[in-house]
Amino acid sequence: MTATGTGLVFAQNMMYRHTVTVYDPDGRLVRTIPDAVSLADLGYPDRQGVVQGAPVEAAASADGRTVWVSNYSMYGEGFGRPGDDTCSPASRIDDSYLYRIDTRTLAVEAVVRVGAVPKHLAVSPDGRRVVVANWCTYDVSIVDAVAGRQVARVPVGPYPRGVAISRDGRRAYVAVMGAGEVAVLDLRGAAVTRRIPVGRGPRHLLLAPDGDRLYVSLNAAGEVVIVDVASGAVTGRVRVGPQPRTMALAPDGRALYVVVYDASTLVKLAADDLRTLQRVPTGTHPIGVTFEPRAHRVWVAVYTGRILVFDEVAGPAGP
């Protein structure tokens, strides 16, 4: 789930609904976008017929004009090896595709072939690059967002997940869940230049607005940590509960929101030192969180198919 900053919130409904749903800041449904596309009509003539995806994660460009969506798998003619959470490059799972959605037309306008089971992705601040973590091929795709094509694949290690991109667009940080580390990529040279040990099961990453600190949710350790980007040292740590997953920062960078999957809880932390400010029940298995800046609300997606909207985490503001 992601907010564009221009008054739209996108929710990805995977293979359970084969849609992306779009809402206004008050929680009203604006559009349901089907994930069925003709790849041949969008630049891949070797792929015939209409196929479906499984929208899993999304990232908006800084100007809010486009939203990029990763698809866990593709379904239809020519696709016979769907994704799985337990896999490796030897599994030979089908490569998948990113969708680029125009936020004015709310339609899929382009697709880009990447690796197998792409999960988290990020758009560079200048909108020129998209970086996506390919779960089953143990690598990262670097996409030219303007040309709409993959320009490099960089091996990073087992089960890459979270992605964050530096303010200057030169580096990407990738959570490598199977290795307990964050890989630092030089996006110009398309190579890993550094590896930062962070703890068990790093899942989601966020950079602080100043770019000096990296927030990491540790799914296996039940913790959130702060990493000093310059030194690579872990400078803050807090236990939030079993399986913390997605995080969101308030626009002013002062509050960090974390959904804790196995505690069915949203936790609000002080971003400077990770003090726990509030804990709010969400219902069973919260999976995604985003901050919608126009209405100043926190949105939480729950695995049972519900979306909760909170006013400053003081209580639900909508269904």
How confident is the model over 76-99, as a mean pLDDT? 96
Structure letter (DSSP) for residue 79 = B
pLDDT digits (tens, 9 = 90+) for 12-45: 999 999 999 999 999 999 999 999 999 999 999 9
The confidence score (pLDDT) of residue 318 equals 46
Angle in degrees, CA 158, 92, 171, rounded to 5: 40
- What CATH code would you report for 1-197? 2.130.10.10
Strands (E), 47-159: 50-51, 55-60, 66-71, 97-102, 107-113, 118-123, 129-134, 139-144, 149-155
The confidence score (pLDDT) of residue 314 equals 54
How confident is the model over 293-312, as a mean pLDDT? 94
For residue 317, what pLDDT band results from cuts at 50, 70 and 90?
A: low
Query: By the 8 A CB rule, do 93 and 81 touch?
Result: yes
Q: What are phi and psi of 15, to 5 degrees?
A: -80, -5
How confident is the model over 141-150, as a mean pLDDT? 97
pLDDT digits (tens, 9 = 90+) for 46-56: 999 999 999 99
The confidence score (pLDDT) of residue 312 equals 76
The pair of three-digit structure tokens given for residue 83, joined into one six-digit string: 């994704």
Tell the burial category of 46 from Cβ atoms under 10 Å away from its Cβ (0-12, 13-18, 19+): exposed
The confidence score (pLDDT) of residue 319 equals 43
How confident is the model over 146-164, as a mean pLDDT? 97
Q: Tell me whether strands 181-186 and 171-176 are parallel, antiparallel or unpaired.
A: antiparallel
Written as one string, the DSSP assignment of 12-64 is: E-HHHH-EEEEE-TTS-EEEEEE--EETGGGT-TTS-SEEB--EEEEEE-TTS
The CATH architecture one would assign to domain 200-319 is 7 Propeller (2.130)
Angle in degrees, CA 278, 281, 286, rounded to 5: 110
For residue 71, what pLDDT band results from cuts at 50, 70 and 90?
A: very high
pLDDT digits (tens, 9 = 90+) for 218-239: 999 999 999 999 999 999 999 9
Q: What is the pTM of this model?
A: 0.96
Do domains 1-197 and 200-319 share one topology? The answer is: yes
Q: Tell me whether strands 107-113 and 118-123 are parallel, antiparallel or unpaired.
A: unpaired
Query: By the 8 A CB rule, do 9 and 17 touch?
Result: no
For residue 315, what pLDDT band results from cuts at 50, 70 and 90?
A: low
How confident is the model over 247-270, as a mean pLDDT? 97
Q: Where are the alpha helices (DSSP H) in 134-236?
A: none
Tell the burial category of 104 from Cβ atoms under 10 Å away from its Cβ (0-12, 13-18, 19+): exposed
Residue 316 has pLDDT above 60, yes or no: no
| CB neighbourhood size of 208 (10 A) | 17
Residue 293 has pLDDT above 80, yes or no: yes
Closest CA to 77 of 48, 113, 55: 48
Give me the count of residues in the chain.
319
Written as one string, the DSSP assignment of 220-273 is: TTTEEEEEETTT--EEEEEE--S-EEEEEE-TTSSEEEEEEGGGTEEEEEETTT
Output the average pLDDT for the chain: 96
The confidence score (pLDDT) of residue 313 equals 59
- The ranges assigned to domains in the chain are 1-197, 200-319
